[in-house]
Structure 1
Amino acid sequence: MKNIVIGSGPAGRLGSLELGKLGEEVTLIEKKHIAGTCLNEGCMVVCALTDITKFIDENRRFNSYGFIKSQMDVSYEKIVEKITETQEKLRYLNQLENESVGNNVIYGEAKIEGEQVIVNNETYEWDNLLIATGARPFIPEVPGKDYGLTNKDILKLDDVPEKLNIIGGGIIACEIANIYATLGSEVNVIVRSTFLKELSEATKKYVLENIIPNVNVLENTSVEEVFKDKILTSDGKELEGIPFFATGRVPNSEIAEGFVELNPDKTIKVNEMMQTDVSNVYAAGDVTGGYQLTPVARMEGITAARNMAGYANKVSYNCIPQTLSLNTEVSFVKNEKSELTDDEKATIAIPGIAGPGAFWKILEGKTGYTEVEFDKNKNKINRINSISPSSTSDVAYLSYLMRMDYDLDDYSEFLEIHPSTDTNYKIIKNMWL
């Protein structure tokens, strides 16, 4: 059967790769660069820059302790050059990976006409279609909005901005604030409601006081107008600095309008098999809304591919782990199916433990923080907020155990690697069991 995949971000790339592995005929169509927002404009760019800021942070700390004496001279131009060079290598490898299973990768803007896709004036027929066209930054309708930068512009900057006004209060806003504050920018974050509402109050407080202490966060504040080098807030303040929008994303679903059913927010409506209201048309990734995370997009793309190949598969979104890429990682997960009353839950929190990436932070009292919420009646973990150099892997593994609905007693057999910065095992094994 002929399968066409439109979009080569995490959902489309992994979906087409899965179809190829299953022996299906696949044409993968990409408008610009393979690997989508993640590699080219999003999380990989953020991670690359955060690697630099972690080094800067450690250098500052070691200099303050007196056992290293060095001065930093950071070239933003050279950083961008090397990120771009790395991206080119990864694009090449990602294309080879898809071609290695027999897939045809072509570049150009696709258009759907009936059971055909037209790209570069060529017509391709399909038996199954996967739409994985992703999303783009949302810019609110405020006067002067065209002056605002987004994540798409990070690698277009000539240098580190002297002053930066980040509009938005979610994960991307926090990550961008951390990067440029560490690189030397004077950073304001302007939040319409609450900053980092995904985190518990204690975790958020730790982030503000210990990880991004030099960032000025203005909550419950709207932006009235944007200028090239300043913004005007709802309370009449003029804040100097380049405006940067981190205000969410909108789906690239125009290609599907009038072809499949869309949700009110213009995301493509799919069922748990990633199938649209047209039986042989599927959609996956950010274009479908929901969790706009690379691992989730991969999961959705693979689920769609298996169904396209005739292997029934459903997607589940419970206990999705997430992280903020900061100078110390902040990771969290919650059991969305469980809403506990105060009488039903118990919360235990302790500072981070010394270990790799945290030992030299003891002198500053900044080893991290972990908070675990338990269901007292069912003896289950309900929520984790963890700040530590190992939190991304710790919380990912624990989220799997949560999805598998393990009882807390099952954690007694968990054996950690020493030395470790992970406080989860200490809370679960030594304080709760």
Structure 2
Amino acid sequence: MAFDYDLFVIGGGSGGVRAARIAAGEHGAKVALAEEYRMGGTCVIRGCVPKKLMVFASSYKTAIEDARSYGWAAEAGAFDWQAFRGKLDAELDRLEAAYRSGLKNAGVTTFDMRATVSDAHTVALADGRKVTAKHILIATGGRPAMPQAAAEAGALTSNDIFKLDALPKSVLIVGGGFIACEFACILNGLGVEVTQFYRGEQILRGFDGEARGHVAEEMRAQGVNLHVGTDVIEMKPVEGGTWVASTDGREAVYEKVVYATGRSPNTEGLGLEALGVKLGRKGEVVVDDWSQTAVPSIFAVGDVTDRINLTPVAIREGHAFADTIFGAKPTKADHELVASAVFTQPELGTIGMTEEEARDRGPIEVYTTAFRPMQTAFAGRPDRVMMKLIVCATTRRVLGCHIVAPGAGEMIQLAAIAIKMGATKEDFDRTVAVHPVMAEELVTLRKPVRTA
């Protein structure tokens, strides 16, 4: 059977675009890609990139205050959201254009519309056309989840924050994951009065317990009104914002309410289940180690599979898929020891096992320290950073590394190389410290604070 394309990709985010570019540009496949919103996906348009730029913007007020302690006659004026948003929008336009250019240069045909799957080799486009492909790749990512009652009361999601016409004077953020915590810190840094509710006992579930607690303490110290073990009972629009009643007996009106309580895979209405593609409990596409679904011609990568929902992982999955199917280089994406960073203030960088995970698998040693960093201590700020290594007591391998500090994301990237290579605690000990920097603490931790 002759197909219109060798590959049809549904979704123009990081994973789908990488798969399309490699399949077409490096392996000579005839490829098409459909994206119903903007090319670049969550990361580029409504996630990592605009969020990180907002992190930068939110940090300058404190930096200017610190500058005065270092002798600079510096004063922070009012933050101009309109000016910032104009530059932010322009940068996202530039990045989207770069994504489109990359696809075009690789020879990929693009369709700016929704696409669904009609059968194992046929894609239906929103304009009524149908095209055939030998292989179909689902790379539709995920979307913020929100309770219906919250949506009806006018609550926002993280997507909406980038489109605000003006910053609110007050905001309630509901959720305790990394998205909720990052935006709590961002908006707090931009001068918004921030309250955060999380129904669990501590924010950042799934991360190391000690690191979670440290981040929570620092967030509160910087002005975030964080309440754990707390959830919304009722909310309704009122004059001046949204009235909210919570489980701790609190009642208050917030100008805006933002829900960041999880994300759902974008599989609704794609026609996958009718073809025999298995979906998981959250709607995620179930795939094997090769990103192949139960239907042999249909594959899936990225957040839509709900494996590790990180942009670099989606890119690796997309690249591995293209090399396997079109490059005669069978490749599985490596999901072991993936480093990540949470861009709270301070940041949390992490790789490997948490202390809680490691102690359930065998004897461990825990090395940890907390201290006031030189730069902010000189400025008179009380903030503290934390560094932690989890070490297997028998093999001596470093099983996990957790850093809470300014620039933790940069530090964990380099530590991840050593840990991925199987470095032992003694390898860390043999490494001469760079002085004076915060990261030198990682190679000067001599005695475990506890064993388990």
Q: In terms of mean alpha carbon deviation, does 93-102 or 159-168 score higher? A: 93-102
Deviation of the 1:76 alpha carbon = 0.9
The aligned residue for residue 363 of structure 2 is 344
Q: Deviations over 1:202-261 (max 9, x none)?
A: 333332333452111111122112223232112332132121100000111121232211
Q: Deviations over 1:57-89 (max 9, x none)?
A: 211222356533313221111211111010001
Say which of 300, 317, 320 aligns to 1:300.
Answer: 317
List aligned pairs for 1:1-400, cutoff 5 A.
2-20=6-24, 21-63=26-68, 67-114=72-119, 115-119=121-125, 120-142=127-149, 145-193=152-200, 194-213=202-221, 214-228=223-237, 229-241=242-254, 242-254=256-268, 255=270, 256-259=272-275, 260-309=277-326, 310-335=328-353, 339-341=358-360, 344-351=363-370, 359-362=375-378, 363-366=380-383, 368-400=385-417
Work out whether residues 372 and 427 of structure 1, in 8 Å CA contact, stay in contact via their aligned partners in 2: no
Percent of aligned positions with the same letter in both sequences? 23
Work out whether residues 348 and 427 of structure 1, in 8 Å CA contact, stay in contact via their aligned partners in 2: no
Work out whether residues 187 and 194 of structure 2, in 8 Å CA contact, stay in contact via their aligned partners in 1: yes
Deviation of the 1:289 alpha carbon = 0.9
Distance change in 2, residues 1:68/1:367 (3 Å): farther
Work out whether residues 147 and 226 of structure 1, in 8 Å CA contact, stay in contact via their aligned partners in 2: no
List aligned pairs for 1:400-411, cutoff 5 A.
400-411=417-428
Q: Counterparts of 1:223 and 1:367 in 2: how far apart (Å)? A: 31
Q: Counterparts of 2:203 and 2:345 in 1: how far apart (Å)? A: 18
Work out whether residues 394 and 424 of structure 1, in 8 Å CA contact, stay in contact via their aligned partners in 2: no
Deviation of the 1:364 alpha carbon = 2.4
Q: Deviations over 1:125-177 (max 9, x none)?
A: 10111100011100024366441101111122122211111110110111010
Deviation of the 1:418 alpha carbon = 5.7
Q: Counterparts of 1:146 and 1:417 in 2: how far apart (Å)? A: 53
Structure 1 residue identity aligned to 2:131: Y
CA RMSD, aligned part only?
2.5
Q: In terms of mean alpha carbon deviation, does 369-378 or 412-421 score higher? A: 412-421
Distance change in 2, residues 1:112/1:368 (3 Å): same
Deviation of the 1:360 alpha carbon = 4.1
Q: In terms of mean alpha carbon deviation, does 317-326 or 63-72 score higher? A: 63-72
Deviation of the 1:179 alpha carbon = 0.9
Distance change in 2, residues 1:342/1:68 (3 Å): farther
SS in structure 2 at match of 1:126: strand
Q: In terms of mean alpha carbon deviation, does 295-304 or 87-96 score higher? A: 295-304
Q: Counterparts of 2:100 and 2:336 in 1: how far apart (Å)? A: 32
Q: Deviations over 1:114-133 (max 9, x none)?
A: 22212233332101111000
Work out whether residues 144 and 226 of structure 1, in 8 Å CA contact, stay in contact via their aligned partners in 2: no
Distance change in 2, residues 1:96/1:386 (3 Å): same
Work out whether residues 50 and 92 of structure 2, in 8 Å CA contact, stay in contact via their aligned partners in 1: no
Structure 2 residue identity aligned to 1:222: D
Distance change in 2, residues 1:413/1:126 (3 Å): farther
Structure 1 residue identity aligned to 2:273: E
Q: In terms of mean alpha carbon deviation, does 268-277 or 204-213 score higher? A: 204-213
Q: Counterparts of 1:51 and 1:73 in 2: how far apart (Å)? A: 16
Structure 2 residue identity aligned to 1:60: E
Q: Counterparts of 1:110 and 1:76 in 2: how far apart (Å)? A: 36
Deviation of the 1:98 alpha carbon = 1.9
Work out whether residues 220 and 226 of structure 2, in 8 Å CA contact, stay in contact via their aligned partners in 1: no
Q: Counterparts of 1:94 and 1:298 in 2: how far apart (Å)? A: 13
Distance change in 2, residues 1:416/1:32 (3 Å): farther
Provide the TM-score with structure 1 as the length reference: 0.91
Q: Counterparts of 2:323 and 2:140 in 1: how far apart (Å)? A: 19
Structure 2 residue identity aligned to 1:351: A
Distance change in 2, residues 1:326/1:57 (3 Å): farther
Deviation of the 1:338 alpha carbon = 6.5
- Structure 2 unmatched runs, 5+: none
